[in-house]
Amino acid sequence: MRKISLISSSRADYGIMKNLIIKLQNDKDIKFNFYPTGSLLQKKFGNNLNQIKRDKIKITKKINIDLLNDKNLNVSYAVSSGIKKFTKEFKKNKPDILVILGDRYEIFSVAIAAMINQIPIAHIHGGESTEGVIDEAIRHSITKMSHLHFVSTNKYFNRVLQLGEKKENIYNVGSLGVENVKKQKFFLNTKSLKKFNLSNKKQIFVITLHPETLDNSNTKKNIIILLNALKKFKNTNFIFTMPNAEAGYKEINNQIIRFCRINKDSIYFKSLGQDDYFEICKHAHCIIGNSSSGIIEAPSLLTPSVDIGNRQLGRVRAESVINSKYNVKSIIKSIKKCLKLKNTKIKFSKFKNPYEKKKTTDQIIRALKTKKLENILFKNFKDFHKKLS
């Protein structure tokens, strides 16, 4: 029986991996351990533990790392804390393989701890490019520490190959998030409209803005520009979700809360949960900000999106994703393009999603269960050093 551990550090990656977690937990051929960490354990980012309980997912252990503030120094401390605590846990309960997703600094600490403890790593969503955040360097670093790679497009397959990973260890499986929304049934009725404080007579904008962590000196300026652009749209429900726990998030949060107090058609959520979030996104006229969901999942919901700034620059995207600079006129123009695309319901080819593939979860589980792991850690390192010599 293969021992598989999976780590989740935020509402975003938990939502993406939820169905994978449930299937791994219910698989009789797998001894499964699940560890929530990071902002998943912080009440100020929403009641995410309640969502995990509702999903009937058994928690092996909560690994609480220090997310004391939103400064770069505190991020460094959090990484240090994560390395120490996960190293200690892996010595007690060492898995045959560790599953992690993405590029957050909490996950980076997990990968370092696993590598030091000689635990093979299966990495989801490697090879991607996001030029405006430190995540890109973290993501590629995790790729070099990992042994199985579950990428979401052909372009990312080739990038992981370019980074020196073996072709037989890279699987182009598509996006778990896209698979989730394709399976979800959507019912935005009068009851749910009331639940979200929405009016069916108004258009709906879903807004999520995260810091650009490679240059967060303009964080306050950027959020003010976005909010000033939104003020130009009347008869609109503005649905804001909380930014990620990253350097600069508090400034964004404070400006959004202030905006919602003044604008009666605005509502702010710390955490909606995956199902409710995509329920609203499905019926939204536009998704706005710099969240990966506006690029990866939105096209499969047939909802156009505005991607602002550099945070997601470099990601593969459908034609329904409209790029914008941090400029009021540019944002307004991009939103109007989205509204035209949504309201006319034409050219559905623009929503063709490059992240959409069949049986993503099943492909990942099959590889996790059947891939031979004996000596894979040392073999990968030896092959890598041979290429350098």
Report the CATH number that the domain containing residue 67 is assigned in CATH.
3.40.50.2000
pLDDT tens profile 60-111 = 999 998 765 566 677 788 899 999 999 999 999 999 999 999 888 899 999 9
Q: Structure tokens of 100?
A: 């992690």
12 pLDDT band, cuts 50/70/90, is confident
Question: Same structural domain for residues 19 and 135?
Answer: yes
Q: Does residue 178 lie within any of the structural domains?
A: no
Model pTM score = 0.85
Q: Are residues 194 and 164 in the same domain?
A: no
pLDDT at 102: 86
Whether 381 has a pLDDT exceeding 60, the answer reads: no
Query: Is 15 found in the same domain as 109?
Result: yes
Pairwise CA distance, residues 66 & 75, whole Å: 9
Cβ burial, residue 188 (10 Å; 0-12/13-18/19+)? middle
Asked whether residue 226 is domain-assigned, the answer is yes
Instruction: Please state which of the ranges 144-153, 222-231, 308-317 shows the lowest mean pLDDT.
Output: 308-317
Q: Is the pLDDT of residue 46 over 80?
A: no
Domain residue limits at 143: 2-173+358-388
Q: 12: closest CA among 288, 305, 303, 272?
A: 272
Of 8-22, 55-69, 292-306, 325-339, give the lowest mean pLDDT range.
Answer: 55-69
pLDDT-based confidence at 306, cuts 50/70/90? very high
- Mean pLDDT for the chain overall: 88
Quick one: average pLDDT of 365-389?
65
Q: Is residue 179 domain-resident?
A: no
User: Are 18 and 78 part of one and the same domain?
Assistant: yes
208 and 151 part of one domain = no
Query: Count of H helices and E strands in the chain?
Result: 15, 12
Lowest-confidence pick of 44-58, 163-177, 350-364: 44-58
Judge whether 322 lies within some domain: yes
The string of pLDDT tens digits covering residues 198-233 is 777 889 999 999 988 666 678 899 999 999 999 999
Are 165 and 216 in the same domain?
no
Q: Tell me: do 204 and 328 sit in the same domain.
A: yes
232 plus 155 within the same structural domain: no
Residue 137 included in any domain: yes
Q: What is the pLDDT, as a whole number, of residue 50?
A: 85
Residues 315 and 364 in one domain: no
pLDDT at 388 over 50: no
Percent of the residues in the chain that have a pLDDT greater than 70, as a whole number: 89
pLDDT average, residue stretch 154-172: 95
Is 291 inside any structural domain?
A: yes
Q: Above 70 in pLDDT, residue 56?
A: yes
Same domain, 122 and 239: no
Higher pLDDT, 383 or 213: 213
Query: Could you tell me if residue 294 is inside a domain?
Result: yes
Paired strand residues for 22: none
Residue 49 sits at the vertex; the CA angle it makes with 46 and 52, to the nearest 5 degrees, is 120
What is the pLDDT, as a whole number, of residue 374? 63
Q: Which residue has the higher pLDDT, 36 or 41?
A: 36
Give the list of residues 6+ apart from residue 75 with CB closer than 8 angstroms, or none.
105, 246, 247
Of 282, 286, 326, 290, the C-alpha closest to 307 is 290
pLDDT of amino acid 136: 82
Contact 36, 139 (CB under 8 A): no
The domain total for the chain is: 2
Q: Nearest CA to 230 among 321, 336, 345?
A: 336
Q: Are residues 38 and 95 in the same domain?
A: yes
Are 104 and 191 in the same domain?
no
Tell me what the mean pLDDT of segment 192-197 comes to. Answer: 71
Q: What is the mean pLDDT of residues 303-308?
A: 96
